[in-house]
Amino acid sequence: MDEERSEGVLRQRNRVRLLDALRHEGTASRSELARLTGLSRTTVGSLVSDLQARGIVIEHDDGERHTGRGRPPVYLSLDRSAGVAVGIDFDHDRVRVALADLSSNVVGEDDTEIDVDHSAANAIDAAVEMVGGLHATADVDEARVVGVGVGLPGPIDRLTGTVGSTFILPGWAGIKAQDVLAERLGARVQVDNDANLGALAEASFGAGRGLSDVVYVRLGSGVGAGLVLGGRLHHGAGGLAGEIGHVQVRPDGAVCRCGNRGCLETIAAEGALRALLRPARGHDVTRRELLSLVASGDLGSTRVVNDAGLAVGRVLADLCNAVNPEALIVGGELAEAGEPLLGGIREAIDRYALPGAARAVKVVHGELGERAELLGALALVTQSTDSLHAIDSETVVQFPDPAPGRTGCPAGGKEAVVAETS
Ligand SMILES: [Zn+2]
């Protein structure tokens, strides 16, 4: 490699280090950046000048941070136009998409109802169309997209980017969502399981912010969990870490969609709860009806949800012994059932986990609601170092002012868990 080229490579590497520090801190002065990156003040000054000239980094005063005497230092942060992240969340019956800047500020969001489970092609078409619509509405140059994060409601094979179990998501068998979406959207795509993305989002922006060991449990039409351990999303060897829904709790129980018998899902997923209520109610109870019955204090519905909490908590008690988390965050559609569900989980953990493990863990409701997985898909991109390498163009995007209600970083970028996601 000639000298000029190796100097260019080194400079790019240093620039990425600086961008990474800035993304993590949100705002920093030049001397703070020198300390954070280990680069000299002179190198930081020179790299910042480059990035300013390209509109990627901007200067501003930050009066709140300056408490000392004398002239306040000049602070730097990433310009909102530095790069765009795309998030797509395929839920069983809905597709959600969002655009965000690299500090995870959402600048556009859309969703539509569609049968995701049984038709991958229709779901992918809907997602691509909505992403195109968001680019147009937010006036974002598609060339500035640094990556796409995608959530799917099933275990994802980490090597191939395909759904790891065709029994769980039959309509997606053999489909390489990662490759198909990369081709359709012209950007680098990372696919992950929905519970993993919920875990990443809650640990970065929600109920687990600032904590390093967090378990996120997703209770809805399925039962799954995502683990953030040591501040990083834990996938396991094949991407199956956290699949608690298929822990066997009744050896002679009902046959599960995975082919085993008596899995936790067969007694604690939404379908099982609705089936339990059918004889008493005399008709098929919808999810909405189940949740409103619980909210109104209906005894049978409250019992069904509490029993599901006890069953889930029994399995989580063993998980608490195994990984000793600080928080257990409950999300997914059934989390709306609230205290009867969470109380059941807490009761089982207190009873079956080691006292130390039970004391260490707080069982809380997720803060991000139905958007958790979508925000996690965005975080896959905004927290990946690869997205910083993708910032290598002279053009910049102009975002419109955020629309009230739908936009804004859920918790700011400063406390985000930095997860190396690839
Ligand atoms: Zn199963």
Q: What is the rounded CA–CA span in Å between residue 118 and residue 422?
A: 29
Distance in Å, CA 171 to ligand 1 centroid: 18
CA distances from 414 to 18, 77, 147, 155 (A): 15, 11, 21, 30
Specify the pLDDT at position 351.
Answer: 98
Distance in Å, CA 57 to ligand 1 centroid: 49
Distance in Å, CA 381 to ligand 1 centroid: 31
Specify the pLDDT at position 167.
Answer: 64
Structure tokens at 37: 């990156």
Q: How far apart are the first and last CA of the chain?
A: 27
Q: How many CB atoms lie within 10 A of CB 222?
A: 24
| For residues 139-160, average pLDDT | 83
Distance in Å, CA 298 to ligand 1 centroid: 30
Asked whether 60 and 49 are in contact (CB, 8 A), the reply is no
Distance in Å, CA 252 to ligand 1 centroid: 13
- Average pLDDT value over all residues in the chain: 86
* Highest mean pLDDT: which range of 111-120, 236-245, 336-345: 336-345
Asked whether 199 and 122 are in contact (CB, 8 A), the reply is no
**Over the stretch 366-422, which tens digit does the pLDDT of each residue have?**
999 999 999 999 999 988 877 777 775 443 344 444 444 443 344 333 333 333 333
Distance in Å, CA 225 to ligand 1 centroid: 14
Residue 71 or residue 88, greater confidence: 88
Contacts of 18 (CB under 8 A, 6+ apart): 33, 37, 39, 44, 47, 48, 51
Q: Lowest-pLDDT range, 55-64, 76-85, 133-142, 292-301?
A: 55-64
Specify the pLDDT at position 160.
Answer: 72
Query: SS3 for 357?
Result: helix
Structure tokens at 336: 């709306």
At 350, is the pLDDT very low, low, confident or very high (cuts 50, 70, 90)? very high
Asked whether 347 and 381 are in contact (CB, 8 A), the reply is no
Distance in Å, CA 246 to ligand 1 centroid: 4
pTM, two decimal places: 0.83
Q: What is the rounded CA–CA span in Å between residue 268 and residue 80?
A: 43
**Over the stretch 90-124, which tens digit does the pLDDT of each residue have?**
988 899 999 998 878 898 999 999 887 778 889 99
Pick the closest to residue 48 from 103, 11, 73 (CA basis): 11
- Give the largest CA-CA distance in the chain: 79
